[in-house]
Amino acid sequence: MHSSVWLTLLILVPAIGALLAAAARRREGAAFAVGVTTAVVELVLAIVVTVLYNPHVANAGTFDFVGRWVLAAPFGLAYDVGIDGISVFLVLLSAIVLPLALLGARDRRREPAFVGWLLLLTSATVASFVARDLLMFFLAFELTLVPSYFLVAQWGGPQRARAALKFFVYTFAGSAFLFVGMLYVAFAHQHATGGALSFSYAVLQGTVLPRSTQVWLFLAFAAAFAVKSPIWPFHTWSPVTYAEAPTAGSMELSALLAKLGSYGLLRFAVGLFPLGLADLRPWLATLAVIGILYGSALAAVTPDLKRVVAYSSLAQMGFVTLGVVTGSKIAMVGAVLLMFNHGVITAGLFLVIGFIERRRGTATIADLRGLQGPAPVLAALFTVVMLASIGLPGLSGFVSEFLVLLGAFATHPWWALVATLGVVLAALYLLWAYQRVFHGRATGPNESVADATHAERWVLAPIVVLVVVLGVFPKPVIDRITPSVQQLIVHVAPAGVSK
Q: What is the pLDDT of residues 163-206, one digit of tens each?
A: 888 888 888 888 888 888 988 888 887 777 777 777 878 778 77
* Residue 368 pLDDT class (50, 70, 90 cuts): confident
For residue 60, give every residue at least 6 positions away whose Cβ sits within 8 Å of its Cβ, in sequence order, or none.
84, 85, 483, 484, 486, 487
Average pLDDT rounded to a whole number, residues 434-460: 84
Per-residue pLDDT, averaged over 34-59, amounts to 84
For residues 69-85, average pLDDT? 69
**More confident site: 417 or 29:** 417
Domain enclosing residue 393, as ranges: 273-499
What average pLDDT does this structure show over 217-223? 89
Mean pLDDT, residues 303-316 taken together: 88
Quick check: is 59 in a domain? no
Average pLDDT, the chain: 84
The residues, any chain, with a CB within 8 Å of residue 321's CB and separated by 6 or more, are 229, 231, 262, 265, 284, 287, 288, 291, 335
- Is the residue at 478 inside a domain? yes
The dihedral built from the CA positions of residue 346, 36, 462 and 354, taken in this order, carries a sign that is positive
pLDDT over 50 at 60, yes or no: no
Tell whether 119 is covered by a domain: no
Q: What is the pLDDT of residue 12?
A: 92
Return the minimum-mean-pLDDT range out of 108-117, 190-199, 238-247. Answer: 190-199
Strands 77-81 and 67-72: antiparallel
Kindly calculate the radius of gyration of the chain based on its CA atoms and give it in whole angstroms: 22
Asked whether residue 287 is assigned to any structural domain, the reply reads yes
Q: In 3D, which of 282, 256, 246, 38 has the Cα closest to residue 150? A: 246
Task: Name 200's bridge partners.
Answer: 133
The DSSP code for 71 is E
Pairwise CA distance, residues 77 & 295, whole Å: 39
Q: Residue 166: inside a domain, yes or no?
A: no
Alpha-carbon gap, residue 207 to 50, rounded angstroms: 31
89 near 259, Cβ under 8 Å?
no
Q: Whose CA is closest to 225, among 178, 292, 271? A: 178
d(CA 321, CA 323): 5
Position 463 pLDDT exceeds 90: yes
Is pLDDT above 60 for 443? yes
pLDDT reading at 13 higher than 90: yes
pLDDT tens across 468-485, in order?
999 888 988 898 888 888
The least confident of 37-51, 53-67, 329-343, 463-477 is 53-67
Q: Give the per-residue pLDDT at 69.
A: 52
pLDDT at 228 (0 to 100): 84
The pLDDT confidence band at residue 462, using thresholds 50, 70 and 90, is very high
485, part of any domain: yes
Q: Which helix (H) or strand (E) holds 68?
A: strand 67-72
**Residues 28-56: what's their mean pLDDT?**
87
- The pLDDT of residue 89 is 92
CA–CA distance, 459 with 39 (Å, rounded to integer): 13
Assigned domain for 496 exists: yes
Is residue 122 pLDDT above 90, yes or no? yes
Q: What is the DSSP letter of 498?
A: B
* pLDDT interval class at 127 (50, 70, 90): very high
Say if CB 422 and CB 339 are below 8 A apart.
no
For residue 75, name the pLDDT band (cuts at 50, 70, 90).
low
248 and 107 Cβ atoms separated by less than 8 Å: yes
Best CA proximity match to 39, nearest among 126, 107, 108, 109: 126
Do 330 and 406 meet the contact criterion of CB atoms below 8 Å apart?
yes
Q: What pTM, to 2 d.p., does this model score?
A: 0.88
Position with higher pLDDT, 456 vs 78: 456
Looking at the domain assignment, is residue 212 inside a domain? no
Weakest-pLDDT range from 57-66, 228-237, 411-420, 448-457: 57-66
Half-sphere exposure for 281 (CA within 13 Å, toward CB): 22
3-state SS assignment for residue 234: coil
Indicate the number of domains in the chain. 1
Nearest to 180, CA basis, from 223, 121, 234, 128? 223
Phi, psi for residue 81 in degrees, rounded to 5? -125, 155
* CB burial string 149-185: b at 16+ within 10 A, e below: bbbbbbbbeeebeebbebbbebbeebbebbbebbbeb
